[in-house]
Structure 1
Amino acid sequence: MSMAQEKTKTRPMTMIQALRSAMDVMLERDENIVVFGEDVGYFGGVFRCTEGLQAKYGPSRVFDAPISESGIVAAAIGMGAYGLRPVVEIQFADYFYPAADQIFSEAARLRYRSAGGYTAPLTIRMPCGGGIFGGQTHSQSPEALFTHVAGLRTVMPSNPYDAKGLLISSIENDDPVIFLEPKRLYNGPFDGHHDQPVVPWSKHPLGNVPEGYYTVPLDSASLYREGRELTVLTYGTMVYVAEVAAREAGIDADILDLRSLWPLDLDAILASVRKTGRCVVLHEATRTSGFGAELCALVQEHCFYHLEAPIERITGWDTPYPHSHEWAYFPGPKRVAEAFKRVFREA
């Protein structure tokens, strides 16, 4: 927990409620913060993350934008350069591509190309991943594309507590932050077997969220489950799949929730792998050139002589995202547990 925290009571929140609370807290604290995007004003967003904020803060602080992702991000860059702190929503991560040039060529480079004269303190929220049977245009996990671009920060929370703290940190940061929100976790953690939560957030320890201001650092991982036999490097929805898989495989796994993909908490990764001697990398996105490849390379470079077995990588398939077969596409507990066991067989 960050030192930057107010004394405040906690209450159960879903991830949606935690994200809304973060924006509410920051809109109240800083008049330079504005929230906008497609349907985020009166309607409250397609997932209701901004519900009630326009009524509370008015249409000049929380407002709807045309269906133009490029225009949304371009306007946010200009606002940020002139002193505002915009928080924009791209309705689905799949829709960011029309804004790619604005994100990659303008927002990410503004501080550098202006020699520090201007910054782009904008936060771009994007629901990502599967879980709603949205098919190829509503279910992508494009995090690797953002981590490749110098000048961007990329985060993906796995629970309401981190979601709120990371979003507040993102809004306060002077550089552009890509804030990816796993849709499958909006209302509770899943086990990957079906579309029902393992446990509602109200009964999950990470679902108890402070009502006031607090931050979570943008460059730190979180040890979700401590173990000594195997390190699992993962983030987002797959944190909970890893937990179920470890239990089913009977393996004492160290599950590291990266939560900040870039900057990456390399110290936490190396400490865990050096402790366990075995490593599995797990993510929902497609395998080839996915972010897991970078994780494998870093572990290989820094922990080669500590490894007792080859690094395993479990991911989504290298295929267009399936519509009706998305639960076969996801790495589920059975497939992950088999990979856990292979790490020991190949030792």
Structure 2
Amino acid sequence: MPRMTMIEAIRSAMDVSMERDDDVVVFGEDVGYFGGVFRGTQGLQQKYGKTRCFDAPINESGIVGAAIGMAAYGLKPCVEIQFADYMYPAYDQLTQEAARLRYRSNGDFTCGITVRMPTGGGIFGGQTHSQSPEALFTHVCGLQVVVPSNPYDAKGLLIASIENPDPVIFLEPKRLYNGPFDGHHDRPVTSWAGHPLGEVPAEHYVVPLGKAVVRRPGSAVTVLAYGTMVHVAEATAEETGIDAEVIDLRTLMPLDLETIVTSVKKTGRCLVVHEATLTSGFGAELAALVQEHCFYQLEAPVIRVAGWDTPYPHAQEWDYFPGPARVGRALRDMMEA
């Protein structure tokens, strides 16, 4: 079985999908001849031609608007917003048009678009290249939101997203693009860049949307995470020696509440870790759901560890990230509560 980095797995997902279905089209800023700023679409235009993989103007609203029209016509667009930070001009199209098309047309039209966005920090991109805006999408009825943590899931989830008849926001953690991230560091790590992370089938397969997975079984505390923070949570559990059960949510909407509730009722404690800002982050929704469904089993308050409530700090990027030191303190505090 081939070993791929996450960006290679994402490219493979689009390749497989385009090969199987002529209705799948890929476009966005620099995704054609150049192959994408992170090389996510490298070689696709050469293989499938300029009518199925092509460059778009620097106009995010136009990119998503065109994709909506294509989807209503019957195509399956997979578009790239070069950085998640650039999605704001397209937010109106995503929330007012894409998310509502099925409902507004009484089911006559669907909007099977997939919007890929590199998200989060780790490349010293500063305020306009490093944001984690997932909560802005999970709030919108009609949008599905996916955040993979490893190459195998990235490919299977992306194929599932492309084949989904409704709009999917596919957020790709940049820190995981080019190699393994072991999560044991509170400072930049460059030694892993370019090394393969996992085995990924070359052929078509699907990881279903809406299904979380237990990455590390445990009995003392449940840790809810997604994307890069899954690796941080696993590493912290190993370093602290706390018997934490780490759940990789994979899909934020639809959310696998059953897996979360089953775990928290078993452990009696819950820690939520995400890279986005704390206030009104997706962790707040997770904490509320755990309190609603597991209140009588909780032995300590739900704790969130997240990014700071500040504009994205370029110079203090790795202090801003929840790392093993901050997550470890939260785990120890929770066990002492």
Q: Does TM-score exceed 0.5, indicating one fold?
A: yes
What is the CA distance between 1:200 and its match in structure 2?
7.0
Structure 2: distance between partners of 1:313 and 1:288: 10
> Are the structure 2 counterparts of residues 131 and 54 from structure 1 closer, same or farther at C-alpha, using a change threshold of 3 Å?
same
**Contact 2:178–2:195 (Cα < 8 Å) also in 1:** no
Which residue of the partner structure matches residue 37 of structure 1? 28
What is the CA distance between 1:197 and its match in structure 2?
6.5
Q: Give the alignment's TM-score, normalised by structure 1.
A: 0.95
Does residue 1:193 correspond to 2:186, yes or no?
yes
Which residue of the partner structure matches residue 317 of structure 1? 308
> Match of 1:175, as an amino acid?
D
Runs of 4+ in 1 over 3 A off after TM superposition: 197-204
Which residue of the partner structure matches residue 221 of structure 1? 212
Does residue 1:263 correspond to 2:216, yes or no?
no
Q: Give the secondary-structure state (helix, strand or coil) at the position aligned to 1:137.
A: coil
**2:224 is matched with which residue: 200, 221, 233?**
233
**Contact 1:189–1:200 (Cα < 8 Å) also in 2:** yes
Which residue of the partner structure matches residue 103 of structure 1? 94
**Contact 1:12–1:201 (Cα < 8 Å) also in 2:** no
Structure 1: distance between partners of 2:5 and 2:141: 32
Q: Give the secondary-structure state (helix, strand or coil) at the position aligned to 1:136.
A: coil
Which residue of the partner structure matches residue 78 of structure 2? 87
Identity %: 68
What is the CA distance between 1:315 and its match in structure 2?
0.2
Runs of 5+ in structure 2 lacking a partner? none
What is the CA distance between 1:345 and its match in structure 2?
1.2
Task: Tell me the alpha carbon deviations over residues 322-343 of structure 1, each in whole angstroms, 9 at most, x when there is no partner.
Answer: 1111001001100100000011
> Are the structure 2 counterparts of residues 201 and 343 from structure 1 closer, same or farther at C-alpha, using a change threshold of 3 Å?
farther
Does residue 1:170 correspond to 2:176, yes or no?
no
**1:46 is matched with which residue: 37, 55, 62?**
37
Report how many residues are paired: 335
Structure 2: distance between partners of 1:250 and 1:21: 37
Structure 2: distance between partners of 1:51 and 1:34: 14
> Are the structure 2 counterparts of residues 332 and 101 from structure 1 closer, same or farther at C-alpha, using a change threshold of 3 Å?
same
What is the CA distance between 1:247 and its match in structure 2?
1.4
Runs of 5+ in structure 1 lacking a partner? 1-9
Q: Give the secondary-structure state (helix, strand or coil) at the position aligned to 2:200.
A: strand
What is the CA distance between 1:198 and its match in structure 2?
8.4
**2:321 is matched with which residue: 330, 337, 340?**
330
Structure 2: distance between partners of 1:306 and 1:330: 30
Q: Give the alignment's TM-score, normalised by structure 2.
A: 0.97
Structure 1: distance between partners of 2:194 and 2:83: 23
What is the aligned-residue RMSD (CA, Å)?
Answer: 1.2
Q: Give the secondary-structure state (helix, strand or coil) at the position aligned to 1:97.
A: helix
> Match of 1:232, as an amino acid?
V
